[in-house]
Amino acid sequence: MLNLERLRTLDALARHGSVSGAAEALHVTTSAVSQQMGKLEREVDQQLLARNGRGVRLTDAGRLLAEHASRILSQVELAQSDLEAHRGQVVGELRLSAFPTAARGLFPTALAALRAQHPALRVRSSELEPETGIAGVVRGDLDLAVVLDWYNKPMPLPDGLVKAPLLDDPAEVALPVGHRLAERDEVDLGEFAEDEWITWGEGEFCHEWLMFTLRSRGVEPIVGHRAAETHTQLNLVAAGLGVCIAPLLGRHPMPEGVVMVPLKQRVRRHVYVVWRADADRRPSIRAAVQALRGAAEATSRSGGVS
């Protein structure tokens, strides 16, 4: 009889490609991963791992069993989802993440509503960039992730995930009060060829979007400063250190010395929540999506997000 936890360990190894990666995903030690794999090899009486330099790789038997493990774990998740749906109660633990501005703009309202309406549900939240949140859902480390993409640059979603829209978030350009374009009714991105940009971290989805969008307008971006948080970016703008793109969600309160000017391109980002299809029937998933939608509607009414 194959042990489910050992299959889970093998699945984590296959997904992450290393003992340390599997240990981090499973929140155990590398020694625990090695012990579980040793026991699994004895159970199946075949070698599942082989040395590969300083690391390990799956053998042919390991890859074969890992493919079965992925399907078995998905079926277990589906069975648990069906049982939870049959019971019809919002209970247990729910793990979710959101990118920084959504964590500030949506989580306080949504999580407070979940606590008030479903006191038996234990919610654990974290602030993660969209790509990291999606990877966490795929691995099973997270139940839901609030993520985003931009009007001209979709975020690719792996197979097996379901998504629900929350809101469309308009963005404008933030300028220092004394900027040459600060008194304009609207501006074109092509007018910022000589400006320094305050952007997100290298490799982050929003940073890559900004570089792609500026270059499509004939601007080779001059990056002066990087900051993950919108408020940090806006304070750098207020100090006269550059310009930035500022979505409406999570923007307020605005620092003094910053002027927001609409863009002719009507830039928007799409905010949505994703979860695994095999967990679709869980009442806790449905309750969380409903709470997030309620928070998005409240944000839209108070801040003008559509």
Model confidence band, residue 24 (pLDDT cutoffs 50, 70, 90) = confident
Work out the average pLDDT over 41-60. Answer: 88
pLDDT one-digit tens code per residue, 147-189: 999 999 888 888 889 999 999 999 999 999 999 999 999 999 9
For residue 112, what pLDDT is reported?
Answer: 97
Residue with tokens 């500030």: 104
CB 144 within 8 A of CB 275: yes
Name the region of 228 (left: φ>0; alpha: ψ -120 to 50; beta: rest).
alpha
> How far is the CA of 184 from the CAs of 124, 190, 250, in angstroms?
44, 14, 24
* Helix axes 60-87 and 4-16, enclosed angle (nearest 10): 120
**Whether residue 85 has pLDDT greater than 70:** no
Choice among 74-78, 120-124, 197-201, 232-236 with the minimum mean pLDDT: 74-78
DSSP, collapsed to helix, strand or coil, labels residue 212 as: helix
SS3 per residue for 61-116: HHHHHHHHHHHHHHHHHHHHHHHHHHHCCCCEEEEEEECHHHHHHCHHHHHHHHHH
Give mean pLDDT, residues 214-224.
92
Instruction: Pick the more confident residue, 155 or 113.
Output: 113
Other beta carbons within 10 Å of 226: 16
Q: Which two three-digit tokens encode residue 174?
A: 């933030």
Classify residue 155 by its DSSP letter. Answer: P
Q: For residue 269, give the nearest of 140, 169, 198, 130 by alpha carbon.
A: 169
pTM of the model: 0.72
Alpha helices in the chain (DSSP H): 4-16, 19-26, 30-44, 60-87, 100-105, 107-117, 130-139, 205-216, 230-238, 283-303
The DSSP output letter for 171 is: E
Give the number of other Cβ atoms within 10 Å of residue 198's Cβ: 24
Q: Is 254 exposed, middle or buried (0-12, 13-18, 19+ CB in 10 A)?
A: middle
Q: Are strands 49-52 and 55-58 parallel, antiparallel or unpaired?
A: antiparallel
Cβ–Cβ < 8 Å for 12, 136:
no
**Per-residue tokens: 56:** 């390990």
Quote the pLDDT of residue 208: 92
Rounded-to-integer distance, Cα 275 and Cα 224, Å: 36
